[in-house]
Amino acid sequence: MKIIIAFILAFLMHLNAEDTFFEPSKYENIPNDEYGEIVRWGRNIFINTGTYGKRYVGNALSCSSCHLNEGKKAYAIPMWGAYGMYPMYKSDSHKVVDIRQKIQSCFKYSMNGIAPTVDAPEMNALVTYIHWLSKGVPVGKQMKGRGLIKVQQSKAPSTINGEKLYKNKCALCHGLEGKGQKNEQGYVFPPLWGNDSFNRKSGLNKIRTMARYIKANMPLASDFSLSDQDSLDLAYYIWIHDRPEDPTSSMITNTFQAKPGSL
């Protein structure tokens, strides 16, 4: 009997462990030394990029516009789930990239700006902040909550349902015209399309990628409240709107970009 009880307890503990995510150290635990100063600076750049990294950004978005809760939220591409996985092979570019090259692409495509050099002080600060968030994560380990959740498509995405969902679930924060809401420091709720949004080369300008992001994170504080298909419909509705051009493509390619594009 004792053996059976012990087995059940061990099984329940295993289930509980599977339901938890890695928790990075809290802000107040940043050390009061030179390393800690760089971590704090990196955090400032991460959450207020337009102020602390303004020479590289082309819109008013910040790193935390996508990587929620200062880069800590599971299934919102958390930084603690990324750091130990680089260098990484990227199938879209057919190249192996390191964490600095990935950050460069975020500035060029998500923030529609220019890439900081790999030895730029801001780059060093961001990498240091991400390193601090990732302390305790085994290198090369696929952590639960890393990246984005998977979604299953049951039928072709619907712009009609997507528009209905957007007006009912998203417009309160992001606005009916998708322009978001901002204050003097930047966007409180980021734009989802238009001139100040991410450009066509950004990873979120892919219907399935956006759907995976929506599924686990939107509406805010209502994670996983949308079905997979509703998430895809919303992503498709967002995708059909105009946004800044892909800086790696020609004017002709940008002008005649095929729609609806690859899922």
Which pLDDT belongs to residue 252?
A: 56
Which pLDDT belongs to residue 3?
A: 46
**pLDDT (average), residues 162-170:** 98
The yes-or-no verdict on residue 6 having pLDDT over 70 is no
Which pLDDT belongs to residue 257?
A: 59
Provide the pLDDT confidence category of residue 254 given band limits of 50, 70 and 90. Answer: low
Which pLDDT belongs to residue 250?
A: 64
C-alpha Rg value of the chain to the nearest Å: 20
Same domain, 26 and 114: yes
- Residue 235 domain flag: yes
Using DSSP's 3-state secondary structure scheme, residue 188 falls into strand
d(CA 136, CA 23): 9
DSSP secondary structure of 74-120: TTS--GGGTGGG-SEEETTTTEEE-HHHHHHHIIIIIS-S-PPPTT-
Which pLDDT belongs to residue 184?
A: 81
- Residue 242 domain flag: yes
CATH number, domain at 205? 1.10.760.10
Which pLDDT belongs to residue 86?
A: 95
- Look at the chain and report how many structural domains it folds into: 2
Which pLDDT belongs to residue 12?
A: 41
Q: For residue 51, give its domain range.
A: 21-133
Q: What is the pLDDT of residues 171-214, one digit of tens each?
A: 999 999 999 999 887 899 999 999 999 999 999 999 999 999 99
Which pLDDT belongs to residue 91?
A: 83
Same domain, 186 and 116: no
Q: What is the pLDDT of residues 31-56, one digit of tens each?
A: 999 999 999 999 999 999 999 999 99
- Residue 116 domain flag: yes
Same domain, 49 and 90: yes
**pLDDT (average), residues 1-20:** 45
Strand partners, 186: 183
